[in-house]
Amino acid sequence: MRLIQHFIDGAATTTPPARLGDVYDPALGKVQAQVALGNAALLDEAVANAKAAQPAWAATNPQRRARVMFRFKELIEQHMDELAEMLSREHGKVIADSKGDIQRGLEVVEFVCGIPHLLKGEYTEGAGPGIDVYSMRQPIGIAAGITPFNFPAMIPLWMCAPAIATGNAFIIKPSERDPSVPVRLAELALEAGLPKGILNVVHGDKEMVDAILDHADIKAVSFVGSSDIAQYVYGRGAANGKRMQCMGGAKNHGIVMPDADMDQAVADIIGAAYGSAGERCMALPVVVPVGEETAVRLRGKLLTAIADLRVGIPTDPDAHYGPVVGAAHKAKIEHYIQMAVEEGAELVVDGRGLSLQGYEDGYFLGPTLLDRVTPDMQSYREEIFGPVLQIMRAKTFEEAVSYPTNHQYGNGVALFTRNGDFARAFAASVEVGMVGINVPIPVPVAYHSFGGWKRSGFGDLDQYGMDGIRFYTRTKKVTQRWPSGGAVLDQSFVIPTMG
């Protein structure tokens, strides 16, 4: 059986692992590979190699580092089909979704190709008599990323691209459910000219996560996962003096106003709710029609659109989405559907019990639609992370806005309307980190930053964009004064002023 090893110092490790984890094919429901699970000693090896390689990489001028990133970008593009097939085989996404996963990560690689400009500091001449002040951005040393199963290409690239472009060494700990793509990306980075030891991949479970959070030489950790784990990771890492950036769960809302383009809104909602089998933190699992007439029209059009959805294996070009990632996750989603019914929600479309011929053991779920969901329901308050859409009816615009504002999560939200006054008021007042106006999945482009509020994000800096550059660098401020013409500088025994 195929063994997925760690990637340290430019090569796969050869030592037989003490522990192994199973990697499943979600379409077949069968083990397709095993992944080595590391420990603190294995992490020490990765950190030692990173520590040896990082100073020379940091001393490499930004233009040369940018050339490596340009070449890395080209290699990812050349290997797009290979990477997408690898991703779909382990995650279950359809190929088109896998290519989108890779592309969104690739856009961050493109952004950091401008690293010579992004690293420029500030300069003030004559801040005081003969005094100039300037700042410089310097790498922090060694950083690590702990990434989730749902985006095995995009999120590792979001983290590692700005980290290595700014002169750091980086260690990725991917999800043990679909670990192959990050290893392949590390191989491509090496081919692009990245020195050995700068990008390493270690596999593992909680034992490896805790080792990362406790390691003295790892100065910063970026994490994406569920909110409870994000809070734990943030707390433990911060207690150990690390810079932390932890993204958690979500329960994103789409508010539909009576004046919305209903056909366009439904098309957007269907894709956002059921794409990638709902396994994304920017999915749209809750839709809030304003007014009963809006709710009736929306529900009717959703039913028509859901009937046209096709669930299939990842390589089916006509499938809209594939299986969920694993048996336990499928059971969790089914549990939430039953919970919603028991709480009083109306089960309009039941996606449980779906089976595909020849793939009866696969982790497939059909699209589910629940109506008349209320804020007190646990199935609403918590993240389901599957192909389940919940309808919450609101009488007024203000009531609709209160739902995402008062929710424990604050990742993304969308408003569907033709009214600019509503849109402006919504964007200004809603308590959510990323807002879409007639945009169902408002993931910012790579030169902005990604991050939610409340229990969707722990830490002060967001992912990628300029926040990503700031997260992986330290700003050093220099105040300098030079003698002029041999003159003796006045001595001062007080804090100097510039005026």
Write out pLDDT tens, residues 198-227: 999 999 999 999 999 999 999 999 999 999
Q: Are residues 267 and 336 located together in one domain of the fold?
A: yes
Q: Are residues 160 and 262 located together in one domain of the fold?
A: no
Q: What's the mean pLDDT when you consider all of the chain?
A: 95
Residue 246 known to be catalytic: no
Q: Are residues 76 and 168 located together in one domain of the fold?
A: yes
Per-residue confidence (pLDDT) for residue 349, from 0 to 100: 98
* Domain contains 449: no
As a whole number, mean pLDDT of residues 111-130 equals 93
* Domain contains 193: yes
Q: Are residues 330 and 359 located together in one domain of the fold?
A: yes
Q: Are residues 66 and 104 located together in one domain of the fold?
A: yes
CATH number of the structural domain spanning residue 66: 3.40.605.10
Model pTM score: 0.94
* Per-residue pLDDT at 443 exceeds 80: yes
Which pLDDT tens digit goes with each residue over 238-259? 999 999 999 999 999 999 999 9
* Per-residue pLDDT at 293 exceeds 80: yes
* Domain contains 493: no
Which residue type does 459 have?
Answer: G
* Domain contains 483: no
CATH number of the structural domain spanning residue 265: 3.40.309.10
Per-residue confidence (pLDDT) for residue 86, from 0 to 100: 97
Q: Are residues 217 and 333 located together in one domain of the fold?
A: no
Closest to 466 in 3D by CA, of 482, 493, 447: 447
Per-residue confidence (pLDDT) for residue 489, from 0 to 100: 58
* Domain contains 490: no
* Per-residue pLDDT at 496 exceeds 70: no
Domain that holds residue 259: 253-437
As a whole number, mean pLDDT of residues 172-197 equals 98
Q: Are residues 190 and 161 located together in one domain of the fold?
A: yes
Q: Are residues 82 and 188 located together in one domain of the fold?
A: yes
* Domain contains 45: yes
Which pLDDT tens digit goes with each residue over 41-60? 999 999 999 999 999 999 99
Residues above pLDDT 70, as percent of the chain: 97
* Per-residue pLDDT at 492 exceeds 70: no
Which pLDDT tens digit goes with each residue over 150-171? 999 999 999 999 999 999 999 9
Query: How many domains would you assign to the chain?
Result: 2
End-to-end CA distance of the chain: 72
Confidence class of residue 128 from pLDDT cuts 50, 70 and 90?
Answer: confident
Q: Are residues 239 and 259 located together in one domain of the fold?
A: no
SS (H, E, C) the chain: CEEECCEECCEECCCCCCEEEEEEECCCCEEEEEEEECCHHHHHHHHHHHHHHHHHHHHCCHHHHHHHHHHHHHHHHHCHHHHHHHHHHHHCCCHHHHHHHHHHHHHHHHHHCCHHHHCCCCEEEEEECCEEEEEEEEECCEEEEECCCCCCCHHHHHHHHHHHHCCCEEEEECCCCCCHHHHHHHHHHHHCCCCCCCEEECCCCHHHHHHHHHCCCCCEEEEECCHHHHHHHHHHHHHCCCEEEEECCCCCEEEECCCCCHHHHHHHHHHHHHHHHHCCCCCCCEEEEECHHHHHHHHHHHHHHHHCCCECCCCCCCCCECCCCCHHHHHHHHHHHHHHHHHCCEEEECCCCCCCCCCCCCCCCCCEEEECCCCCCHHHHCCCCCCEEEECCECCHHHHHHHHHHCCEECEEEEECCCHHHHHHHHHHCCCCEEEECCCCCCCCCCCCECCEECCEECCCCECHHHHHHHCEEEEEEEEECCCCCCCCCCCCCCCCCC
Q: Are residues 430 and 329 located together in one domain of the fold?
A: yes
Q: Are residues 44 and 147 located together in one domain of the fold?
A: yes
* Domain contains 495: no
Confidence class of residue 499 from pLDDT cuts 50, 70 and 90?
Answer: low
